[in-house]
Structure 1
Amino acid sequence: MISTERVKNIALAGIIATTASMATSVMAETSATDKQSLRQQSKAMFGTLPDTMPGSDNDTAILIELGEKLYMDPRLSVNDTQSCNSCHLIGSDKTGTGVDNLATSPGAIKGKGGDRNSPTVWNAGFQVAQFWDGRAEDLKAQAKGPILNPVEMAMPSEQAVEEKIGGIEEYQVAFKQAFGSEDAVTYDNLAHAIAAFERTLISQDRFDEFMNGDDNALNDQELAGLQTFISTGCVACHSGKTLGGHMYQKLGMVNAYPHQEDLGRHKVTGNEADKMVFKVPMLRDISRAAPYFHDGSIETLDQAIKDMAWYQLGRKFDQQQVDDIAAFLKALDHQPTSL
Protein backbone atom coordinates (compact mmCIF):
# COMPACT_ATOMS: atom_id res chain seq x y z
CA MET A 1 0.00 0.00 0.00
CA ILE A 2 1.38 3.41 -0.99
CA SER A 3 1.74 5.83 1.95
CA THR A 4 -0.06 9.16 2.02
CA GLU A 5 3.27 10.99 1.95
CA ARG A 6 4.36 8.99 -1.10
CA VAL A 7 1.14 9.88 -2.92
CA LYS A 8 1.64 13.56 -2.08
CA ASN A 9 5.21 13.47 -3.36
CA ILE A 10 4.20 11.77 -6.61
CA ALA A 11 1.46 14.33 -7.16
CA LEU A 12 3.79 17.22 -6.43
CA ALA A 13 6.41 15.82 -8.80
CA GLY A 14 3.74 15.79 -11.51
CA ILE A 15 2.87 19.41 -10.84
CA ILE A 16 6.53 20.40 -11.00
CA ALA A 17 7.00 18.60 -14.30
CA THR A 18 3.87 20.16 -15.78
CA THR A 19 4.72 23.70 -14.73
CA ALA A 20 8.27 23.32 -16.00
CA SER A 21 7.00 22.20 -19.39
CA MET A 22 4.48 25.03 -19.58
CA ALA A 23 7.02 27.62 -18.52
CA THR A 24 9.59 26.52 -21.13
CA SER A 25 7.26 27.55 -23.95
CA VAL A 26 6.34 30.73 -22.10
CA MET A 27 10.00 31.68 -21.75
CA ALA A 28 10.58 31.22 -25.45
CA GLU A 29 7.55 33.31 -26.38
CA THR A 30 8.44 36.07 -23.94
CA SER A 31 12.04 36.43 -25.06
CA ALA A 32 11.09 36.35 -28.72
CA THR A 33 7.96 38.45 -28.80
CA ASP A 34 6.24 40.16 -25.89
CA LYS A 35 5.25 39.76 -22.28
CA GLN A 36 1.64 38.80 -22.80
CA SER A 37 2.16 35.03 -22.58
CA LEU A 38 4.01 35.32 -19.29
CA ARG A 39 1.34 37.67 -18.00
CA GLN A 40 -1.43 35.21 -18.83
CA GLN A 41 0.53 32.36 -17.29
CA SER A 42 1.03 34.39 -14.11
CA LYS A 43 -2.62 35.36 -13.88
CA ALA A 44 -3.60 31.69 -14.16
CA MET A 45 -1.07 30.45 -11.60
CA PHE A 46 -1.21 33.34 -9.14
CA GLY A 47 -3.77 36.03 -9.79
CA THR A 48 -3.85 39.53 -8.34
CA LEU A 49 -4.73 40.36 -4.77
CA PRO A 50 -8.36 41.49 -4.38
CA ASP A 51 -9.22 44.80 -2.76
CA THR A 52 -10.94 43.14 0.20
CA MET A 53 -10.18 40.13 2.37
CA PRO A 54 -12.53 37.22 3.11
CA GLY A 55 -14.79 37.96 6.08
CA SER A 56 -14.62 41.74 5.72
CA ASP A 57 -18.16 42.28 4.40
CA ASN A 58 -19.49 43.53 7.73
CA ASP A 59 -16.36 45.32 8.96
CA THR A 60 -17.30 48.93 9.71
CA ALA A 61 -14.93 51.88 9.96
CA ILE A 62 -15.64 52.11 13.71
CA LEU A 63 -14.85 48.41 14.21
CA ILE A 64 -11.61 48.67 12.22
CA GLU A 65 -10.54 51.75 14.18
CA LEU A 66 -11.12 49.89 17.45
CA GLY A 67 -9.18 46.90 16.14
CA GLU A 68 -6.22 49.07 15.19
CA LYS A 69 -6.20 50.72 18.63
CA LEU A 70 -6.19 47.30 20.30
CA TYR A 71 -3.52 45.98 17.91
CA MET A 72 -1.18 48.80 18.92
CA ASP A 73 -1.96 48.72 22.67
CA PRO A 74 0.67 47.16 25.00
CA ARG A 75 -1.94 47.08 27.77
CA LEU A 76 -3.08 43.78 26.27
CA SER A 77 0.02 42.24 27.86
CA VAL A 78 0.44 41.35 31.51
CA ASN A 79 3.00 44.09 32.20
CA ASP A 80 2.00 46.68 29.57
CA THR A 81 5.12 46.07 27.47
CA GLN A 82 3.89 44.00 24.52
CA SER A 83 1.36 44.70 21.79
CA CYS A 84 0.44 42.81 18.63
CA ASN A 85 2.51 45.42 16.83
CA SER A 86 5.60 44.47 18.88
CA CYS A 87 6.07 41.25 16.89
CA HIS A 88 4.10 42.17 13.76
CA LEU A 89 5.20 45.72 13.06
CA ILE A 90 2.78 47.77 10.98
CA GLY A 91 3.03 51.19 12.58
CA SER A 92 0.63 54.08 12.33
CA ASP A 93 1.66 54.78 8.73
CA LYS A 94 0.96 51.18 7.60
CA THR A 95 4.42 50.81 6.05
CA GLY A 96 5.89 48.33 8.55
CA THR A 97 7.15 44.93 7.51
CA GLY A 98 4.48 43.00 9.44
CA VAL A 99 7.27 41.19 11.34
CA ASP A 100 9.95 42.11 13.89
CA ASN A 101 12.83 40.75 11.76
CA LEU A 102 14.04 38.55 14.62
CA ALA A 103 14.58 34.80 14.49
CA THR A 104 12.09 34.37 17.33
CA SER A 105 10.26 37.08 19.25
CA PRO A 106 10.82 38.02 22.90
CA GLY A 107 7.75 37.89 25.10
CA ALA A 108 6.41 40.23 27.77
CA ILE A 109 8.12 38.26 30.54
CA LYS A 110 11.87 38.88 30.59
CA GLY A 111 13.88 35.85 29.59
CA LYS A 112 11.02 34.15 27.77
CA GLY A 113 10.44 34.04 24.05
CA GLY A 114 8.66 32.13 21.36
CA ASP A 115 10.07 29.07 19.61
CA ARG A 116 8.95 30.02 16.09
CA ASN A 117 9.55 32.93 13.77
CA SER A 118 6.76 35.52 13.77
CA PRO A 119 5.14 35.42 10.30
CA THR A 120 3.96 38.55 8.53
CA VAL A 121 0.50 39.93 9.19
CA TRP A 122 0.31 41.42 5.69
CA ASN A 123 -2.24 39.44 3.65
CA ALA A 124 -2.57 36.94 6.51
CA GLY A 125 -6.34 36.60 6.16
CA PHE A 126 -6.00 35.16 2.65
CA GLN A 127 -4.36 32.01 4.04
CA VAL A 128 -5.97 28.62 4.61
CA ALA A 129 -5.29 28.93 8.36
CA GLN A 130 -3.10 30.81 10.83
CA PHE A 131 0.20 30.00 12.58
CA TRP A 132 2.93 27.87 11.02
CA ASP A 133 1.07 24.70 11.99
CA GLY A 134 -2.40 25.94 11.02
CA ARG A 135 -3.84 25.50 14.50
CA ALA A 136 -6.07 28.61 14.24
CA GLU A 137 -8.75 28.59 11.58
CA ASP A 138 -8.88 32.34 10.97
CA LEU A 139 -7.62 35.76 12.05
CA LYS A 140 -10.06 35.99 14.94
CA ALA A 141 -8.94 32.65 16.39
CA GLN A 142 -5.30 33.65 15.89
CA ALA A 143 -5.77 36.97 17.70
CA LYS A 144 -6.91 35.15 20.84
CA GLY A 145 -3.75 33.06 21.14
CA PRO A 146 -0.79 35.37 21.82
CA ILE A 147 -2.59 37.45 24.47
CA LEU A 148 -2.96 34.42 26.75
CA ASN A 149 0.26 32.66 25.73
CA PRO A 150 2.58 32.62 28.80
CA VAL A 151 5.66 33.24 26.64
CA GLU A 152 4.10 36.03 24.59
CA MET A 153 1.72 38.59 26.14
CA ALA A 154 1.11 36.40 29.20
CA MET A 155 -2.31 37.58 30.34
CA PRO A 156 -3.64 34.99 32.82
CA SER A 157 -7.18 34.56 31.47
CA GLU A 158 -9.87 35.91 29.17
CA GLN A 159 -11.64 37.35 32.19
CA ALA A 160 -8.50 39.22 33.24
CA VAL A 161 -8.28 40.75 29.78
CA GLU A 162 -11.95 41.78 29.85
CA GLU A 163 -11.57 43.36 33.28
CA LYS A 164 -8.41 45.24 32.32
CA ILE A 165 -9.67 46.57 28.98
CA GLY A 166 -13.21 47.06 30.31
CA GLY A 167 -11.84 49.30 33.05
CA ILE A 168 -10.48 51.79 30.50
CA GLU A 169 -13.06 54.47 29.73
CA GLU A 170 -12.04 55.03 26.11
CA TYR A 171 -12.56 51.33 25.41
CA GLN A 172 -15.92 51.30 27.15
CA VAL A 173 -17.07 53.94 24.67
CA ALA A 174 -15.32 52.42 21.64
CA PHE A 175 -16.67 48.88 22.18
CA LYS A 176 -20.20 50.22 22.66
CA GLN A 177 -19.96 52.19 19.41
CA ALA A 178 -18.51 49.24 17.49
CA PHE A 179 -20.82 46.50 18.83
CA GLY A 180 -23.90 48.46 19.93
CA SER A 181 -24.28 47.27 23.51
CA GLU A 182 -23.25 48.31 27.02
CA ASP A 183 -21.56 44.98 27.86
CA ALA A 184 -19.60 44.74 24.59
CA VAL A 185 -16.12 44.42 26.15
CA THR A 186 -15.70 40.68 25.75
CA TYR A 187 -12.66 38.66 24.75
CA ASP A 188 -14.48 37.43 21.66
CA ASN A 189 -15.35 40.96 20.55
CA LEU A 190 -11.79 42.09 21.21
CA ALA A 191 -10.42 39.40 18.89
CA HIS A 192 -13.13 40.20 16.35
CA ALA A 193 -12.07 43.84 16.25
CA ILE A 194 -8.36 43.03 15.88
CA ALA A 195 -9.19 40.66 13.01
CA ALA A 196 -11.23 43.41 11.32
CA PHE A 197 -8.18 45.68 11.37
CA GLU A 198 -5.90 42.92 10.09
CA ARG A 199 -8.28 42.34 7.18
CA THR A 200 -7.31 45.79 5.90
CA LEU A 201 -3.64 44.81 5.60
CA ILE A 202 -3.49 43.97 1.91
CA SER A 203 -0.19 44.67 0.21
CA GLN A 204 0.35 46.44 -3.10
CA ASP A 205 3.23 45.56 -5.40
CA ARG A 206 4.61 45.76 -8.92
CA PHE A 207 3.82 42.14 -9.73
CA ASP A 208 0.10 42.92 -9.63
CA GLU A 209 0.74 45.98 -11.79
CA PHE A 210 2.40 43.69 -14.33
CA MET A 211 -0.48 41.20 -14.26
CA ASN A 212 -2.90 44.11 -14.64
CA GLY A 213 -1.25 45.07 -17.92
CA ASP A 214 1.69 47.35 -17.15
CA ASP A 215 4.54 46.16 -19.39
CA ASN A 216 7.02 48.38 -17.55
CA ALA A 217 6.19 47.20 -14.04
CA LEU A 218 8.90 44.49 -14.03
CA ASN A 219 12.41 44.85 -15.44
CA ASP A 220 14.19 42.20 -17.50
CA GLN A 221 15.83 40.47 -14.54
CA GLU A 222 12.57 40.36 -12.59
CA LEU A 223 10.83 38.83 -15.59
CA ALA A 224 13.65 36.29 -15.92
CA GLY A 225 13.23 35.50 -12.23
CA LEU A 226 9.51 34.95 -12.67
CA GLN A 227 10.20 32.60 -15.55
CA THR A 228 12.78 30.70 -13.48
CA PHE A 229 10.45 30.59 -10.49
CA ILE A 230 7.85 28.85 -12.66
CA SER A 231 10.11 26.61 -14.72
CA THR A 232 12.09 25.18 -11.80
CA GLY A 233 8.97 24.12 -9.88
CA CYS A 234 8.82 26.72 -7.07
CA VAL A 235 5.26 27.41 -8.16
CA ALA A 236 4.19 23.89 -7.18
CA CYS A 237 3.84 25.12 -3.59
CA HIS A 238 4.07 28.89 -3.93
CA SER A 239 1.04 29.57 -6.08
CA GLY A 240 -2.23 31.40 -5.62
CA LYS A 241 -2.75 35.10 -4.93
CA THR A 242 -0.27 35.26 -2.06
CA LEU A 243 2.21 32.81 -3.63
CA GLY A 244 1.78 30.41 -0.72
CA GLY A 245 -0.27 30.19 2.43
CA HIS A 246 -2.94 27.95 0.93
CA MET A 247 -1.50 24.50 1.63
CA TYR A 248 0.73 22.45 3.95
CA GLN A 249 3.92 20.75 2.83
CA LYS A 250 6.70 18.74 4.35
CA LEU A 251 9.86 20.77 4.92
CA GLY A 252 12.59 18.58 3.47
CA MET A 253 10.48 16.77 0.89
CA VAL A 254 13.51 15.69 -1.18
CA ASN A 255 16.47 16.37 1.12
CA ALA A 256 15.99 16.38 4.89
CA TYR A 257 15.82 19.68 6.74
CA PRO A 258 18.72 19.65 9.25
CA HIS A 259 16.79 20.99 12.26
CA GLN A 260 13.98 18.65 13.26
CA GLU A 261 13.34 19.58 16.87
CA ASP A 262 10.08 21.26 15.83
CA LEU A 263 7.84 18.69 14.11
CA GLY A 264 5.38 21.28 12.86
CA ARG A 265 1.81 20.24 12.20
CA HIS A 266 2.41 16.89 13.87
CA LYS A 267 2.02 18.69 17.21
CA VAL A 268 -1.52 19.62 16.20
CA THR A 269 -2.75 16.45 14.51
CA GLY A 270 -0.59 13.69 16.04
CA ASN A 271 -0.36 12.08 12.59
CA GLU A 272 2.98 10.55 11.64
CA ALA A 273 2.55 11.89 8.10
CA ASP A 274 2.49 15.43 9.49
CA LYS A 275 5.99 15.33 10.96
CA MET A 276 7.97 18.31 9.60
CA VAL A 277 4.86 19.55 7.78
CA PHE A 278 4.28 23.29 7.91
CA LYS A 279 2.03 25.76 6.19
CA VAL A 280 3.74 26.99 3.03
CA PRO A 281 4.70 30.62 3.72
CA MET A 282 3.36 33.43 1.56
CA LEU A 283 5.88 35.18 -0.68
CA ARG A 284 4.18 38.54 -1.05
CA ASP A 285 6.45 41.08 0.66
CA ILE A 286 8.89 38.27 1.49
CA SER A 287 12.13 40.23 1.02
CA ARG A 288 11.22 42.45 3.97
CA ALA A 289 10.40 39.51 6.24
CA ALA A 290 13.87 38.10 7.05
CA PRO A 291 14.97 35.91 8.74
CA TYR A 292 13.30 32.91 7.13
CA PHE A 293 11.67 29.55 7.82
CA HIS A 294 9.66 28.59 10.88
CA ASP A 295 12.75 28.70 13.08
CA GLY A 296 14.18 31.93 11.68
CA SER A 297 17.44 30.13 10.96
CA ILE A 298 18.17 31.64 7.54
CA GLU A 299 19.18 35.30 7.48
CA THR A 300 19.14 36.17 3.78
CA LEU A 301 16.72 35.79 0.91
CA ASP A 302 19.43 34.35 -1.35
CA GLN A 303 20.20 31.57 1.13
CA ALA A 304 16.52 30.83 1.62
CA ILE A 305 16.12 30.38 -2.15
CA LYS A 306 19.13 28.04 -2.32
CA ASP A 307 17.96 26.00 0.67
CA MET A 308 14.39 25.64 -0.58
CA ALA A 309 15.65 24.47 -3.97
CA TRP A 310 17.72 21.78 -2.24
CA TYR A 311 15.28 20.67 0.47
CA GLN A 312 12.10 20.77 -1.62
CA LEU A 313 13.19 20.24 -5.22
CA GLY A 314 16.50 18.42 -4.88
CA ARG A 315 18.16 21.05 -7.05
CA LYS A 316 21.21 23.24 -6.67
CA PHE A 317 20.47 26.60 -8.25
CA ASP A 318 23.35 28.46 -9.84
CA GLN A 319 23.97 32.04 -8.75
CA GLN A 320 22.21 33.52 -11.78
CA GLN A 321 19.06 31.58 -10.98
CA VAL A 322 19.23 32.73 -7.36
CA ASP A 323 19.82 36.35 -8.36
CA ASP A 324 16.95 36.31 -10.84
CA ILE A 325 14.45 34.69 -8.46
CA ALA A 326 15.47 37.11 -5.70
CA ALA A 327 14.91 40.03 -8.06
CA PHE A 328 11.43 38.75 -8.87
CA LEU A 329 10.58 38.21 -5.19
CA LYS A 330 11.65 41.78 -4.40
CA ALA A 331 9.08 42.95 -6.95
CA LEU A 332 6.53 41.53 -4.47
CA ASP A 333 7.52 44.14 -1.87
CA HIS A 334 4.63 46.16 -0.43
CA GLN A 335 4.62 49.63 -1.98
CA PRO A 336 1.76 51.69 -0.56
CA THR A 337 0.43 54.30 -2.96
CA SER A 338 -0.54 56.66 -0.16
CA LEU A 339 -0.01 56.99 3.57
Structure 2
Amino acid sequence: MTLSCLRKARQATLCAVFAVLGSPLYAQPAPPRAAAADERGLTALELLGKRVFEDASLSRPAGVSCASCHDAATAFQGNNGSSVPAVARGSLPTSLGKRNTPSIMYASFAPPFEFIDDKDEETGKIEKIPAGGQFFDGRAHDLLAQVEGPMLDPLE
Protein backbone atom coordinates (compact mmCIF):
# COMPACT_ATOMS: atom_id res chain seq x y z
CA MET A 1 0.00 0.00 0.00
CA THR A 2 1.43 3.38 -0.93
CA LEU A 3 1.92 6.13 1.62
CA SER A 4 -0.84 8.16 -0.05
CA CYS A 5 -3.30 5.25 0.19
CA LEU A 6 -2.27 4.59 3.79
CA ARG A 7 -2.83 8.23 4.71
CA LYS A 8 -6.28 8.21 3.05
CA ALA A 9 -7.18 5.00 4.91
CA ARG A 10 -6.15 6.59 8.21
CA GLN A 11 -8.16 9.71 7.42
CA ALA A 12 -11.20 7.53 6.67
CA THR A 13 -10.73 5.70 9.99
CA LEU A 14 -10.54 8.97 11.91
CA CYS A 15 -13.58 10.35 10.08
CA ALA A 16 -15.51 7.22 11.03
CA VAL A 17 -14.41 7.48 14.68
CA PHE A 18 -15.40 11.14 14.91
CA ALA A 19 -18.66 10.50 13.05
CA VAL A 20 -19.61 7.93 15.71
CA LEU A 21 -18.42 10.16 18.54
CA GLY A 22 -20.37 13.08 17.12
CA SER A 23 -23.55 11.14 16.41
CA PRO A 24 -26.75 11.98 18.30
CA LEU A 25 -26.80 8.45 19.74
CA TYR A 26 -23.43 8.96 21.41
CA ALA A 27 -23.18 12.66 22.10
CA GLN A 28 -24.89 14.56 24.83
CA PRO A 29 -25.43 18.23 24.16
CA ALA A 30 -22.59 20.27 25.57
CA PRO A 31 -23.55 23.29 27.61
CA PRO A 32 -22.91 26.52 25.72
CA ARG A 33 -19.73 28.24 26.78
CA ALA A 34 -17.83 31.35 25.92
CA ALA A 35 -14.43 30.97 24.31
CA ALA A 36 -11.73 30.85 26.96
CA ALA A 37 -8.85 33.30 26.76
CA ASP A 38 -6.52 30.54 25.55
CA GLU A 39 -8.92 29.71 22.70
CA ARG A 40 -9.08 33.19 21.18
CA GLY A 41 -7.23 33.38 17.90
CA LEU A 42 -7.35 29.62 17.22
CA THR A 43 -8.49 28.39 13.82
CA ALA A 44 -11.58 26.18 13.73
CA LEU A 45 -9.39 23.09 13.28
CA GLU A 46 -7.10 24.07 16.16
CA LEU A 47 -10.12 24.70 18.38
CA LEU A 48 -11.56 21.29 17.46
CA GLY A 49 -8.23 19.65 18.30
CA LYS A 50 -8.01 21.46 21.64
CA ARG A 51 -11.54 20.49 22.61
CA VAL A 52 -11.07 16.83 21.60
CA PHE A 53 -7.79 16.80 23.57
CA GLU A 54 -9.64 18.04 26.67
CA ASP A 55 -12.90 16.07 26.25
CA ALA A 56 -13.17 13.43 28.98
CA SER A 57 -16.43 12.05 27.56
CA LEU A 58 -14.63 10.38 24.62
CA SER A 59 -13.09 7.60 26.71
CA ARG A 60 -14.78 4.38 27.71
CA PRO A 61 -15.71 4.70 30.48
CA ALA A 62 -16.02 8.46 30.37
CA GLY A 63 -13.70 10.47 32.55
CA VAL A 64 -10.27 10.38 30.89
CA SER A 65 -9.13 12.84 28.24
CA CYS A 66 -5.83 13.21 26.41
CA ALA A 67 -5.11 16.06 28.83
CA SER A 68 -5.59 13.68 31.79
CA CYS A 69 -2.25 12.07 30.97
CA HIS A 70 -0.55 14.73 28.84
CA ASP A 71 -0.54 17.37 31.57
CA ALA A 72 0.54 20.89 30.57
CA ALA A 73 2.06 21.37 34.04
CA THR A 74 4.49 18.49 33.41
CA ALA A 75 5.53 19.26 29.81
CA PHE A 76 2.48 17.35 28.52
CA GLN A 77 3.60 14.02 29.99
CA GLY A 78 3.01 12.14 33.23
CA ASN A 79 1.82 8.80 34.54
CA ASN A 80 -1.72 9.87 35.46
CA GLY A 81 -1.55 8.65 39.05
CA SER A 82 -0.30 5.16 38.25
CA SER A 83 1.11 3.17 41.16
CA VAL A 84 3.72 1.81 38.74
CA PRO A 85 6.07 4.68 37.80
CA ALA A 86 7.08 3.19 34.43
CA VAL A 87 3.57 2.99 32.95
CA ALA A 88 0.54 5.26 32.84
CA ARG A 89 -2.85 4.32 34.23
CA GLY A 90 -5.37 3.47 31.51
CA SER A 91 -8.97 4.64 31.15
CA LEU A 92 -10.19 1.80 33.37
CA PRO A 93 -9.20 2.00 37.05
CA THR A 94 -7.70 -1.50 36.90
CA SER A 95 -5.80 -1.08 33.64
CA LEU A 96 -2.27 0.07 32.97
CA GLY A 97 -0.98 1.29 29.64
CA LYS A 98 2.04 -0.23 27.94
CA ARG A 99 4.38 2.71 28.61
CA ASN A 100 4.62 5.91 30.56
CA THR A 101 3.03 8.92 28.92
CA PRO A 102 5.54 10.62 26.60
CA SER A 103 5.77 14.37 26.33
CA ILE A 104 4.02 15.79 23.30
CA MET A 105 5.81 19.14 23.46
CA TYR A 106 7.64 18.60 20.17
CA ALA A 107 5.39 16.03 18.47
CA SER A 108 4.48 18.38 15.63
CA PHE A 109 8.17 18.85 14.82
CA ALA A 110 8.98 15.14 14.47
CA PRO A 111 9.63 14.18 10.85
CA PRO A 112 7.71 11.23 9.37
CA PHE A 113 9.15 7.83 10.22
CA GLU A 114 11.92 6.67 7.90
CA PHE A 115 15.25 4.87 7.88
CA ILE A 116 18.23 7.18 7.45
CA ASP A 117 21.90 6.53 6.75
CA ASP A 118 24.20 6.56 9.76
CA LYS A 119 27.90 6.53 8.99
CA ASP A 120 30.32 5.06 11.52
CA GLU A 121 33.12 7.63 11.82
CA GLU A 122 35.79 5.00 12.52
CA THR A 123 34.95 2.34 9.94
CA GLY A 124 33.10 4.42 7.35
CA LYS A 125 30.38 1.74 7.33
CA ILE A 126 26.90 3.06 6.62
CA GLU A 127 23.91 1.46 8.26
CA LYS A 128 20.22 2.32 8.18
CA ILE A 129 18.74 3.50 11.46
CA PRO A 130 15.12 4.44 12.28
CA ALA A 131 14.32 8.12 12.72
CA GLY A 132 11.21 10.23 13.21
CA GLY A 133 7.67 9.07 13.66
CA GLN A 134 5.47 9.30 16.72
CA PHE A 135 5.47 7.31 19.99
CA PHE A 136 8.73 6.12 21.56
CA ASP A 137 9.28 3.48 18.90
CA GLY A 138 8.17 5.48 15.84
CA ARG A 139 5.32 3.04 15.12
CA ALA A 140 3.09 5.88 13.95
CA HIS A 141 4.38 7.44 10.73
CA ASP A 142 3.06 10.92 11.54
CA LEU A 143 0.59 12.81 13.77
CA LEU A 144 -2.38 11.67 11.70
CA ALA A 145 -1.46 8.04 12.38
CA GLN A 146 -0.58 8.78 16.01
CA VAL A 147 -4.07 9.91 16.98
CA GLU A 148 -5.43 6.44 16.17
CA GLY A 149 -3.32 4.86 18.92
CA PRO A 150 -5.00 6.32 22.00
CA MET A 151 -8.42 6.65 20.36
CA LEU A 152 -8.58 2.96 19.48
CA ASP A 153 -6.59 1.40 22.35
CA PRO A 154 -8.72 0.20 25.29
CA LEU A 155 -5.73 0.56 27.63
CA GLU A 156 -5.37 4.29 27.00
Give me the identity figure in percent: 39
Which residue pairs with 1:107 in the alignment? Answer: 90
* 1:121 is aligned to 2:99: no
Name structure 2 gaps, 5 residues minimum. Answer: 1-41, 80-84, 111-131
Which residue pairs with 2:153 in the alignment? Answer: 149
Shift of residue 103, structure 1, vs aligned partner: 2.5
Structure with greater proportional helix content: 1
Q: Aligned ranges for residues 202-281 of structure 1 at < 5 Å?
A: none
Relative to 1, partners in 2 of residues 1:103 and 1:74: Cα closer, same or farther, differing over 3 Å? same
The whole-number CA distance in structure 1 between the counterparts of 2:77 and 2:102 is 6
**Candidates 38, 49, 53, aligned match of 1:67:** 49
Higher relative CO (Cα under 8 Å, sequence separation at least 6) belongs to 1
Shift of residue 76, structure 1, vs aligned partner: 1.4
The whole-number CA distance in structure 2 between the counterparts of 1:115 and 1:140 is 21
* 1:130 is aligned to 2:127: no
The whole-number CA distance in structure 1 between the counterparts of 2:151 and 2:138 is 18
Deviation >4 Å, runs of 4+: none
Shift of residue 115, structure 1, vs aligned partner: 2.1
Shift of residue 96, structure 1, vs aligned partner: 4.5
The whole-number CA distance in structure 2 between the counterparts of 1:147 and 1:139 is 13
The whole-number CA distance in structure 2 between the counterparts of 1:97 and 1:104 is 17
Which residue pairs with 1:77 in the alignment? Answer: 59
Deviation readout 1:69-93 (Å, 9 max, x if unpaired): 1000111101111111111112xxx
Asked whether the equivalents of residues 95 and 155 of structure 2 are also in contact (C-alpha less than 8 Å), the reply is: yes
The whole-number CA distance in structure 1 between the counterparts of 2:61 and 2:52 is 15
Read off the aligned partner of 1:76 and give its amino acid letter: L
Deviation readout 1:59-118 (Å, 9 max, x if unpaired): x7111011101000111101111111111112xxxx542111552111111211112121
TM-score when scaled to structure 1? 0.25
Structure with greater proportional strand content: 2
The whole-number CA distance in structure 2 between the counterparts of 1:100 and 1:118 is 5
RMSD over aligned Cα atoms: 1.6
Find the residue that maps to 1:81 and give its secondary structure: coil
- Count residues with an aligned counterpart: 89
Deviation readout 1:32-62 (Å, 9 max, x if unpaired): xxxxxxxxxxxxxxxxxxxxxxxxxxxx711
Which residue pairs with 1:3 in the alignment? Answer: none
